[in-house]
Chain A
Amino acid sequence: MENGILARRRRELITGAVVLAALAVLPLPIADVYTRNLIIITLLFAGLAQAWNILGGYCGQISLGHALYFGAGAYVATLLFVNAGFPPLIGMFVGGAVGGLLALLVGWPCFRLSGHYYAIATVVVGEIGYLLFLNWDYVGGATGVYVPFKGDSWLALQFKTQKLPYHYVTLAFAAAAWFAAWLIEGSRWGFAWRAVRDDVVAARSLGVRVFASKMAAAAISGFFTGLGGAIFAQYVGYIDPESVLGGQFSILIALPAVLGGVGTLWGPVVGAAVLMPVSELSRSYLGGSGRGFDLMLYGALIVVVALARPQGLVSLLGRRRERARAA
């Protein structure tokens, strides 16, 4: 009985290691730049969705404003590099820290709100962040910031033609977020967060500090989201408020987790693996008008998944067996 949990956790860690190894060799036989880029974007979103999942899935605080932490991480690391020559390899952790701090700042007033009010508040806060950067000349305003190319370098995270280094950067990012979620699942915090999500009143009657739990989840979630933003900025070499702070980006971060299964280790990974290729394909097959169609497609996907399997795609992989056994 007690070994059930430990055995499951060990199994998940082994699965994680196997998947990590497989993803490490995956790009080697792939010469096609387009495909390599698709895998990189998928890995980035697997990490971002996992970051979102830490707060939205495990702790049950649905954020629709994560673009704020993503954009903050992107801007902080980029401006440190452009204005102060600070290496992005280190700067991205500063960006992550700023993302975490912002999540705490948003959480301080908003976690006192219950349920859907938190989600609505995060939409508003995200929009404020977008408008702020749009009208802030020091950070480039609507024009955004170009990252000047200074030669291939790991410290600067710049590689002129190769895609492979970024495959490993985003893989490390996704793996770190996954591992953080794995650690949380087995820890005192993870239990507290899930208790808060399932039933706040019962949780606090058992001594769970509800507000502190939400804040801790927000800080970790914001940190990884900011980290992802910094990596994204260096990868694409250009950021503006539209591309890193827009409201649709908050949806994009949440979608893979919602699709794959919130509050699960593999949900964000599976969700990103399905969603990113689909969205890329739809964009190239349907040409320029892809954007609007994308969002419609996402909406339809979420509705289908929510109706068929409220637990997301990962539930197709094993939960059904568990349920059948339990019933």
Chain B
Amino acid sequence: MLLEVRGLSKSFGGVAANVDISFVVEQGEILGLIGPNGAGKTSLFNSISGEVTPDAGEILLDGRRISGLGPVACAEAGIARTFQVVRSFDSMTVLENVMVGAFARHRTSRAAMAAAGDVLEFCGLAPRAGRPAWSLSPPEKRRLEVARALATQPRLLLLDEMLTGLTPTEAQSGVQLIRDVRARGVTVIMVEHVMEVVLPLVGRAVVLNLGRVLTIGRPEEIVKNPEVIRAYLGDRYVAH
């Protein structure tokens, strides 16, 4: 067990984004985190990555409490993330963006540059290394987010809607990238609301609705769960 979330709650001025959420993540798995818009997926990522402090509950990485320590400590502990709305460093080149991540593990520019170059190669962005980040296409920007996160050498990678809005071909190559990341030994939690994309990729999924865990299970269990169908897929599916 790599990560454990215990009874986590977080509200923003009366809006309960996460309510009493508990689940575990096993070393080496790809865990899906799904749920309709506003279910609280991004908020949960914000807590796990240290960007916000939960109101209640705790988050343990390898049995060590990381909740409330802040994003820097979480990054050092081995948690990296991408953002639903991409946040590239637009005054920098693609290589320089990834070097910022690499500096989390390397002191010298030379070492950070070499490490960043390797990650770009791995993510298929090597031909773009010298380009300014702002000039990338949207799918390339998503890849850049993954590359930058991987450069911090994480043990756990949080992907927030990395495949949303991509064409089927682009999404397919994104899926391949996620598989390659896992093959490197990095545990992945991926948020996605397009179920067809997530379910073939993940071993298990946590379904959130209105800030709460609706169910946790294997993809084939989840698609059959009537509560999930109602809450997530909508009445359209129930009516069929």
Chain A residues within CB distance 8 Å of chain B: 1-2, 4-5, 186-188, 191-192, 194-195, 197-199, 201-209, 263, 322-323, 326-327
Q: How far is the CB of B80 from chain A (nearest CB, A)?
A: 7
Query: Could you say which residues of chain A place their CB within 8 Å of the CB of B101?
Result: 206-207
Q: Are B113 and A2 in contact (CB under 8 A)?
A: yes
| Alpha-carbon distance A208/B112, docked complex (angstroms) | 14
Residue pair A191, B152 in contact (C-beta under 8 Å): no
Partner of A205, one of B49, B112, B132: B49
Give the docked Cα–Cα distance between A208 and B148 (Å). 13
Expressed in whole angstroms, the minimum distance between the Cβ of B23 and any Cβ of chain A is 22
Main secondary structure of the interface of B (DSSP, over half): mixed
B103 near A202 with CB under 8 A, answer no
- B37 beta carbon closer than 8 Å to chain A: no
Kindly list 17 other residue pairs between chains A and B, CB separation below 8 angstroms, not including A1-B117, A194-B92, A323-B132. A2-B117, A4-B93, A5-B96, A188-B103, A188-B107, A191-B96, A191-B99, A191-B103, A192-B100, A194-B96, A202-B87, A202-B88, A202-B148, A205-B149, A206-B148, A206-B151, A207-B72
Q: Which candidate, B1-9, B123-131, B195-203, B225-233, is the interface stretch facing chain A?
A: B123-131
- List A contacts of B130 (CB < 8 A): 1, 4
Q: A187-B109, A326-B132 are in contact. Are A198 and B95 (CB under 8 A)?
A: no
Q: Find residues 171-229 in chain B having any chain A CB closer than 8 Å to their own CB.
A: none
**Interface residue B20 (Cβ < 8 Å from any Cβ of A):** no
Determine if B51 and A205 form an interchain contact, defined as CB atoms under 8 angstroms apart.
yes
- Tell me how far the C-beta of B109 lies from the nearest C-beta in chain A, rounded to whole angstroms: 6
Residues of chain B lying within 8 A (CB to CB) of residue A202 = 83, 87-89, 148
Cβ B117 vs Cβ A208 within 8 A: no
Given known pairs A191-B96, A206-B152, A326-B132, the reply for A199 and B91 (CB within 8 Å) is no
B71 near A: Cβ within 8 Å? yes
When the two chains form their complex, are residues A207 and B109 in contact, meaning their CB atoms are under 8 A apart? no
Closest Cβ–Cβ distance, residue A127 to chain B (whole Å): 31
Q: Is B62 on the interface with A (CB-CB < 8 A)?
A: no
**Residue of B with least CB distance to A210:** B72
Residues on B with C-beta less than 8 A from A4 are 93, 95, 129-130
The answer to whether B104 and A207 have CB atoms under 8 Å apart is yes
Give the number of chain B interface residues (Cβ < 8 Å): 42
Can you report 18 A-B residue pairs in the complex whose CB atoms are below 8 A from each other? Answer: A4-B95, A5-B113, A188-B112, A191-B96, A191-B103, A191-B112, A192-B103, A198-B92, A202-B148, A203-B100, A205-B83, A206-B80, A206-B152, A207-B71, A207-B101, A207-B152, A208-B100, A208-B103
Say how far B114's CB is from chain A's closest CB, in angstroms.
Answer: 7
* C-alpha spacing A323/B90, complex, angstroms: 13
Give min CB distance, B108 to chain A, whole Å. Answer: 8
CA distance A188 to B100 in the complex (A): 8
Q: How far is the CA of A209 from the CA of B71 in the complex (A)?
A: 9
CB-defined contacts of B95 to chain A, threshold 8 Å: 1-2, 4-5
Q: Are B91 and A197 in contact (CB under 8 A)?
A: yes
Bound Cα distance A187, B51 (Å): 26
- Min distance, Cβ A54 to any Cβ of chain B, angstroms: 15
Contacts of B41 in A (CB 8 A): none
- Most chain A CB within 10 A, of B76, B96, B112, is at B96
Contact A263 B103, beta carbon cutoff 8 Å: no
Q: Which of A5, A206, A322 contacts B132 (CB 8 A)?
A: A322
A197 vs B96: C-alpha distance in the bound complex, in angstroms? Answer: 14
